[in-house]
């Protein structure tokens, strides 16, 4: 296969590119600054502006089997000012529209067969104890609205004859993953504990399974539409805190009270306080076997020194 990856220089992009290149697929990574991206074996970096259907990448798209869209301003980095929130949304919509426009300009018989678009489990917003599958209604938090608009932009490729898969991703457990580092750092300095009342359902996925689901989306023609990228062992946040403490041999008793998180983080506190009991119904139906289905094993693998 030839596969293009937008935002391929990022945390997920580099790991997906490595997985595809290891299987001798041709990988083209699209970056706004390819000259600054550390080189990667078997991966060709090409420039795009993430806004327009202009440049060499549009020619590379013709005859490619798939395109994976990961590009967008970081959600975890920096404070959510009004300007930052606008950028989080607009960067994703512009990049996705550029892809759809490039597909539109490609002759029908040379178009990629699949567009795999990143999305967030925050699509569902805050859901209490409800069991959430891909059929569930969307939520109304800021990130729920970003996810909905991002998915709607990607779905514009469907009438062009392209299979569209939307990976609604939970917090990724991986060494070096920004959100995971922020989640576990307080434990390392003996200040970890439940977030808010800790009753919210906490969804997560090990990075190996996240890459596994991107591969499933690219390679299994039966998979289309939304796919919850979440491990089956969903727990309440306070149990996750306890398990992180256990694996790191640290206490997990210092709570971060809801009012304090709201005061310090503003709208960003939804990232920590909103919960949903989402299940990987579509991944299961497609026969995906999780490598890290259990919380304890996933944390052991990610946190323990090697």
DSSP labels for 202-252?
E-EEEHHHHHHHHHHHHH-TT--EEEEE--S--EEHHHHHHHHHHHHT---
DSSP-assigned beta bridge partners for residue 228: 168
Asked whether position 172 contacts ligand NAP by CB under 6 A, the answer is yes
Rounded Cα distance between 72 and 87, Å, is 8
Asked whether position 33 contacts ligand NAP by CB under 6 A, the answer is yes
Asked whether position 125 contacts ligand NAP by CB under 6 A, the answer is no
Rounded Cα distance between 253 and 117, Å, is 38
Specify the stretch interacting with ligand NAP by CB under 6 A; choose among 25-33, 158-166, 194-202, 284-292: 25-33
82 C-beta neighbours (distance < 10 Å), count: 8
* Residue pair 30/78 in contact by the 8 Å Cβ criterion: no
- The only residue of 5, 71, 230, 231 in contact with ligand NAP, by rule CB under 6 A: 71
Strand pairing report for 2-6 and 66-69: parallel
Smallest gap from Cβ 107 to ligand NAP, in A, equals 27
- The only residue of 21, 31, 80, 183 in contact with ligand NAP, by rule CB under 6 A: 31
Segment 72 to 101, residues that bind ligand NAP, using CB under 6 A: 72-75, 91, 95
Specify the stretch interacting with ligand NAP by CB under 6 A; choose among 29-37, 78-86, 188-196, 248-256: 29-37
DSSP at 118: E
Q: Strand, helix or coil at 181?
A: helix
Specify the stretch interacting with ligand NAP by CB under 6 A; choose among 4-12, 230-238, 259-267, 290-298: 4-12
Tokens at 260, concatenated: 């304090």
Q: Strand, helix or coil at 173?
A: strand
**Residue nearest ligand NAP (C-beta atom):** 10
Rounded Cα distance between 153 and 117, Å, is 10
104 C-beta neighbours (distance < 10 Å), count: 15
Asked whether position 10 contacts ligand NAP by CB under 6 A, the answer is yes
Smallest gap from Cβ 190 to ligand NAP, in A, equals 25
Kindly provide the b/e burial profile for residues 154-166, where b requires at least 16 CB atoms within 10 angstroms of the residue's own CB.
bbbbeeeebbbbb
Smallest gap from Cβ 292 to ligand NAP, in A, equals 15
Asked whether position 118 contacts ligand NAP by CB under 6 A, the answer is yes
Rounded Cα distance between 183 and 2, Å, is 36
Query: What x-and-dash track marks residues 179-218 binding ligand NAP by CB under 6 A?
Result: x---------------------------------------
Q: Which is nearer to ligand NAP, 90 or 104 (CB)?
A: 90
Asked whether position 117 contacts ligand NAP by CB under 6 A, the answer is no
Please give the residue ranges that form the binding site for ligand NAP (CB under 6 A): 7, 9-13, 31-33, 37, 50, 70-75, 91, 95, 118, 120, 169, 171-172, 177, 179
């Amino acid at each position: 296969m030839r596969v293009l990856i937008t935002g391929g220089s990022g945390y997920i992009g580099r790991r997906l590119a490595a997985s595809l290149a290891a299987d001798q697929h041709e990988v083209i990574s699209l970056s706004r600054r390819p000259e600054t991206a550390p080189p990667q074996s078997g991966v060709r970096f090409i420039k795009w502006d993430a806004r327009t259907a202009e440049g060499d990448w549009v020619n590379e798209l013709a005859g490619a089997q798939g395109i994976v869209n990961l590009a967008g301003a970081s959600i975890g980095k920096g404070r959510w000012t009004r300007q930052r929130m606008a950028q989080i949304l607009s960067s994703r919509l512009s990049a996705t529209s550029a892809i759809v426009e490039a597909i539109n300009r490609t002759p029908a018989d040379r178009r990629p067969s699949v567009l795999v678009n990143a999305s967030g489990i925050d699509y569902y917003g805050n859901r209490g104890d409800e069991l959430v599958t891909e059929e569930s209604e969307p939520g109304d938090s800021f990130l729920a609205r970003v996810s909905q608009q991002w998915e709607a932009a990607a779905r514009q490729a469907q009438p062009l004859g392209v299979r569209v898969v939307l990976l609604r991703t939970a917090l990724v457990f991986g060494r070096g993953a920004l959100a995971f580092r922020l989640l576990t750092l307080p434990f390392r300095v003996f200040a970890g504990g439940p977030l808010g009342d800790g009753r919210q359902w906490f969804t997560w996925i090990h990075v190996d399974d996240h890459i596994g689901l991107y591969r499933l989306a690219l390679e299994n023609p039966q998979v289309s539409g939304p796919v919850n990228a979440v491990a089956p062992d969903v727990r309440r946040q306070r149990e996750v805190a306890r398990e992180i403490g256990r694996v790191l041999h640290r206490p997990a008793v210092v709570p971060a009270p809801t009012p304090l998180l709201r005061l310090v983080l503003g709208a960003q506190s939804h990232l920590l306080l909103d919960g949903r009991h989402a299940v990987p119904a579509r991944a299961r139906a497609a026969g995906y076997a999780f490598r890290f289905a259990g919380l304890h094993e996933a944390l052991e693998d990610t946190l323990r020194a090697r």
